[in-house]
Amino acid sequence: MANKRAMICGGGIGGLVTALSLLEYGWQVTVLEQSPVLGDTGAGIQISPNGCKVLRELRLLENVQQRAFAPEKIEMRIGQSGREVFSIPLKGTAVARWGAPYLHVHRSDLTDVLATALKQRATGSLQMTRKIVGYENRGSQIAALLDNGNEFVGDLLIGADGIHSVIREQMLGKQAARFTGNVAWRATVPIEVLGELTPPPTACVWVGQGKHAVTYRLRGGELANFVGVVERGDWQSESWTDQGTREEALADFDDWHPFVRNIIDKAETHYRWALFDRDPLPRWHDGRAVLVGDACHPMLPFLAQGATMAMEDGLALARSLTGDLTANSDVNDALNGYFNSRISRTSQVQAGARKNMKVFHKPAIAYAPVQLATRMKPDLMHQRMDWIYDYEVPEAPGKFKRTL
């Protein structure tokens, strides 16, 4: 198919990585984002080595590293006392063991790197204030339908429009979501205002009865990131932009370690959202419309894999779309191949995140066996993450990759 043209619904991390990946394989791309600007909604994200390998394929890893923070260790501490359960090296180990670094990056910084690269490599490909309300398969083409009555027509439409995906809803109807009984707080605070009560330069999970928190650093260590998850049923909004109060957040972590309470107290804004769980979908495509990222496999945050799974999807999809795709049967085969290559992995990661939701919310005494096991076998935690972090998106046989 000459001049293959793809439209991507959504200019978040998954959509931008998908666009950049398709460019690598000879596609023309248009990213349609409904917002007027690519904002900084969200806070810190963790990019494990499997995600960094995707960035390296796109020749953007160094750009992201310049704006990220590489944690020294992964550690677990008891939320109230701060007692260490385990601590394992990460900064030097990640590249040696898994072939790429482990990074913490502000969501807006990663988005900026991706968007800047897209604008440089495909001028005019990022279209803002373009709200897609549906799609229409038209034989060998597909139309993205906009809310103003206009449309974009191409050979493929990728739904990278998140947990409330318009593309997924048209494709599969409304999907049932189960409230987990957990609400998450998130905030960022400049390190300089935290004083002596600054969380360690690690990826640290603070665990306890019915709640847990995660702290780590961003922007070369200048910013502290906080995520706190509490079991409660009185807040069930899944919006990332809803806010609570400092007093409410402090009450949820009453009598916890001063490191945790200090970052809550010094934060200016306290976002919170309810966590919902969803089952794997039976399919990810309809004709020439296909899904990536949270649109097809939304993740609970307890394995820190939501962004990296979307990044893997984008590269995997591009590698599936090789050869002549003029016939609908060719497109169907390619998109089936993409789905089959991803569904098992993303479903396992979803299940792993669901399991950790319970692992992190136990009384302090329950972590004594973990503490003993990691002392006896220091490599245990590394081994438990090998299946996620060691992964590389497989190359497509006979693929053509454009050299830029």
pLDDT band at 240 (very low <50, low <70, confident <90, very high): low
pLDDT band at 400 (very low <50, low <70, confident <90, very high): very low
Q: What's the confidence (pLDDT) of residue 236?
A: 67
Residue 99: both structure tokens together: 């072939």
pLDDT by residue (tens digit) across 119-161?
Answer: 999 999 999 999 999 999 999 999 999 999 999 999 999 999 9
- Give percent of the chain with pLDDT exceeding 90: 82
- Look-up: residue for tokens 């909604």? 41
Q: What is the 3-state secondary structure (H, E, C) of the chain?
A: CCCCEEEEECCCHHHHHHHHHHHHCCCEEEEECCCCCCCCCCCEEEECHHHHHHHHHCCCHHHHHCCCECCCEEEEEECCCCCEEEEEECCCHHHHHHCCCCEEEEHHHHHHHHHHHHHHHCCCCEECCCCEEEEEEECCEEEEEECCCCEEEECEEEECCCCCCHHHHHHHCCCCCEEEEEEEEEEEEEHHHCCCCCCCCCEEEEEECCEEEEEEEEHHHCEEEEEEEEECCCCCCCCCCCEECHHHHHHHCCCCCHHHHHHHHHCCCEEEEEEEECCCCCCCEECCEEECHHHCCCCCHHHCCHHHHHHHHHHHHHHHCCCCCCCHHHHHHHHHHHHHHHHHHHHHHHHHHHHHHHHCCCCHHHHHHHHHHHHHCCCHHHHHHHHHHCCCCCCCCCCCCCCC
Antiparallel, parallel or unpaired: β 126-127 and 103-106:
unpaired
Whether 39 shows a pLDDT value over 80: the answer reads no
**Does the active-site annotation cover 216?**
yes
- Looking at per-residue pLDDT, the higher value among 372 and 55 belongs to 55
Residue 24 corresponds to which amino acid? E
* 294: nearest Cα among 42, 38, 21, 4: 42
pLDDT by residue (tens digit) across 65-89?
Answer: 999 999 999 999 999 999 999 998 9
Average pLDDT for 280-302: 96
Average pLDDT for 257-264: 97
* CA dihedral of residues 109, 114, 120, 125 (deg, nearest 10): -120
pLDDT by residue (tens digit) across 337-394?
Answer: 999 999 999 999 999 999 998 899 999 999 999 888 888 887 888 899 999 999 999 9
Catalytic residue among 135, 216, 389, 391: 216
Domains and their CATH numbers in the chain: 1-36+128-176+280-354 (3.50.50.60), 40-106+178-277+361-391 (3.30.9.30)
**Which residues does residue 44 pair with via DSSP β-bridges, in sequence order?**
106
State the average pLDDT for the chain: 92
Specify the length of the chain in residues: 404
Q: What's the confidence (pLDDT) of residue 404?
A: 39
CA atoms within 13 A on the CB side of 357: 21
Residue 63 corresponds to which amino acid? N
pLDDT band at 397 (very low <50, low <70, confident <90, very high): low
Average pLDDT for 206-231: 96
Residue 268: both structure tokens together: 């200016």
Whether 235 shows a pLDDT value over 70: the answer reads no
Q: What's the confidence (pLDDT) of residue 375?
A: 86
Whether 238 shows a pLDDT value over 90: the answer reads no
Q: What's the confidence (pLDDT) of residue 175?
A: 86
Dihedral pair phi/psi, residue 275, rounded to 5°? -100, 125
The CA-CA-CA angle for residues 116, 121, 122, to 5°, reads: 100
Whether 272 shows a pLDDT value over 60: the answer reads yes
